[in-house]
Amino acid sequence: MDLSVKLGQLEFANPVIAASGTFGYGLEYLPFVDLDLLGGFSTKGLSLKPRMGNAVPRMVETASGMLNAIGLENIGLEKFLSDKLPLLQNYKTRIIVNFFGDTQDEYVEMATALSDVTRVDALEMNISCPNVEAGGVQFSSDPAVVRSLVESVRKSTGKFLIVKLSPNVTDITEIARAAEDGGADAVSLINTQIGMVIDLETRKPYLANKTGGLSGPAIKPIALYHVYQTARAVKIPVIGMGGISNTEDALEFLSAGATAIQIGTANFIDPGITMKVIDGIRRYCQTHAIQKMSDLKLMED
């Protein structure tokens, strides 16, 4: 059974990818996941310099999900390249480096620095972060900003470039088209949905950051809708995510038009979930006489 998928010129052994921020730098999951069988994983979001992230509490469980305001804590690009990547050298999985910057120049610097690193298969630009030069408005919210940001990153790297979209916008398809126009090879969506929780003992927001990003099953129908719309709005491949917790969820996203899927929060509940979903997709294809992944289409199409 051939589960391989092609995102442009980049082939994955199967469509299952572990999502950024929920899979560390890959190595943390070695006791649970066979990295030779996993389609790919996206690293924790990296920046030029290490970051400590936000004050605690920065995570809280919610109905069918969780809220986080980690604040993009990470070890920084240099340490990733010197301490983590060499240990990942011989695994077959695709390595996607998720990255971000405070300014357009920082994005370009990151992409340039990663361009010649052969073991890195793709870059995933997280645009759901504050643009320091524009008073902290998120890069992701303005199509003109997204287009120009992607254009400048595109010029600085030949790597496969994925732009990760935020659902906290009026029309995600407009942002997806801006990323495509800017030269993205693929888009991935959705990042977390902004939310909050209040502690009734103190009557203060539970998270030190006050607001956080909602993820997990609670956002799945919203994410699926955005993926469905976006897959019809752009020609480049769409990587779908948001609340995928089992095989059926993954198959829904693939049917809605995603070429590959990412699994995030579900890794915290079952660190071996990616392996189970790969097996489940294989079983579904066998019982439904599906020969190749591109045959998994929504019947309305």
Ligand X SMILES: Cc1cc2nc3c(=O)[nH]c(=O)nc-3n(C[C@H](O)[C@H](O)[C@H](O)COP(=O)(O)O)c2cc1C
Binding span for ligand X by CB under 6 A among 135-143, 168-176, 215-223, 291-299? 215-223
Is 129 annotated as catalytic? yes
Q: Which amino acid is at 174?
A: E
> In Å, how far from its chain's centre is CA 3?
20
Would you count residue 98 as binding ligand X (CB under 6 A)?
A: yes
Q: Per rule CB under 6 A, is residue 237 in the interface with ligand X?
A: no
**Which of 241, 251, 290, 296 touches ligand X (CB under 6 A)?**
241
From CA 180, how far away is CA 195, in angstroms rounded? Answer: 28
Which contiguous run of DSSP H or E holds residue 268?
Answer: helix 266-269
Considering only 1-9, 137-145, 235-243, 279-287, which stretch makes contact with ligand X by CB under 6 A?
235-243
User: Whose Cβ is closer to ligand X: residue 93's or residue 265's?
Assistant: 265
Told to check if 244 binds ligand X by CB under 6 A, we report yes
Binding flag, residue 242, ligand X (CB under 6 A): yes
Q: Which entry of 10, 46, 70, 129 is annotated as an active-site residue?
A: 129
Tell me, what DSSP letter sits at residue 51? B
Asked if 172 interacts with ligand X (CB under 6 A), we say no
Angle among Cα 246, 251, 257 to the nearest 5 degrees reads 135
State in angstroms the smallest separation of the CB of 203 from ligand X.
26
Least distance to ligand X, CB of residue 187, Å: 12
* Residue 45 engages ligand X in binding (rule: CB under 6 A): yes
Q: Which stretch binds ligand X (CB under 6 A): 85-93, 175-183, 200-208, 242-250?
A: 242-250
Complex with ligand X: residue 226 or 290, whichever CB lies closer: 226
User: Where would I find the beta strands (DSSP E) of the chain?
Assistant: 5-7, 10-12, 16-18, 40-42, 59-62, 65-68, 94-99, 122-126, 160-164, 186-189, 193-195, 198-199, 204-205, 212-215, 238-240, 260-263
User: Rounded to whole angstroms, how far apart are CA atoms 298 and 225?
Assistant: 13
Residue 48 · residue 291 · CB < 8 Å: no
Nearer to ligand X (CB atom), residue 70 or residue 111: 70
φ and ψ of 294, to 5 deg: -70, -10
Query: What residues line the site for ligand X (CB under 6 A)?
Result: 19-22, 44-45, 68, 70, 72, 98, 126, 164, 191-192, 215-216, 219, 241-244, 263-266
Task: Give catalytic residues, as residue numbers.
Answer: 129
